[in-house]
Amino acid sequence: MRLGPFDTSRINVRSSDGGGGGMGRAGGLGCGTLAIALIGALVFGLDPSQTIGLIEGVQQQTAPAGQGAGDGARQLSEAEVCTQSEYATEACNALTSLDETWSAAFARAGLRFEQPVLDLYRGGRVNTEGCGSATSAVGPFYCPADKGIYIDTGFYDQLARMSGTGGDFARLYVIAHEYGHHIQNITGLAGQVRAAQQRDPRAANQLQVAMELQADCYAGMWAGKNRNLIEPGDLEEGLKAASAIGDDTLQRNAGQRINPEGFTHGTSRQRMDALRRGLEARNDAACDVFFEGN
């Protein structure tokens, strides 16, 4: 995808160093975070229950006043963050485009838009400002409490091995998916879903899958709104990535029995269909379909 250059005056980006400091302030992990912890655990060959248990345990702890992400480490300038690697530059380019695309969509709808912050954290560990502490094993995630997208870019090498493609669109799909969770957060949908899950625990899993599929759809919608920048092969790269991280594929690759009750993000087919739906969307409400009837 032929993205333009990043503009640090128009994006919020940082790079926390998780090597020091304590926990971030306690808060609830976002609707996608614990599910992504499960995916990350399967991807990296860890025990999902241990990974999720670690994150939940961290949530119960509080930080000393004023202690947040990356305390005690030298803070990189935004320009340094965006030029520390090719992956970082690509992510900043994507963030610039995502901000422009979604702010325009919100303006058309007469809604207030708020940018997320992208944290390309270092050291394999990050202390968030609202969702506790996490390691790179959980994979990319979004924290609604601080409106932060957290990515250890080393994940992209693992994604390339999983999906069989090293193309840029697979990586862009990942950040655009997390940005989709930000859209759900600032529109209030994420809060509504959490409330619905608490009211009806039996529907919690179904609602979780709908959240993730809608985020996939939003990722496709961003790409579709920038169709003039798409290059040959991009769609195929995105679909391969979506297929590689479908719940059924992850369970199968982990040597587990396919268990629909344990799905959190949707099957490979569902994720590919959601991404394609966004790409082919003709209006900004196309991704609302995942919550029709809920």
Q: Please give the pLDDT value at position 58.
A: 33
The residue-averaged pLDDT of 238-242 equals 68
Give the side-chain half-sphere CA count within 13 A for 215.
33
pLDDT tens track for 54-76: 333 333 333 333 334 444 456 88
Q: Among candidates 268, 260, 271, 255, which has minimal Cα distance to 48?
A: 255
Sequence-ordered list of residues with C-beta below 8 angstroms from that of 21, at least 6 positions apart, any chain: 67, 70, 71, 72, 73, 127
pLDDT tens track for 242-278: 666 666 565 666 676 766 566 567 677 888 888 889 9
pTM of the predicted model, to two decimals?
0.78
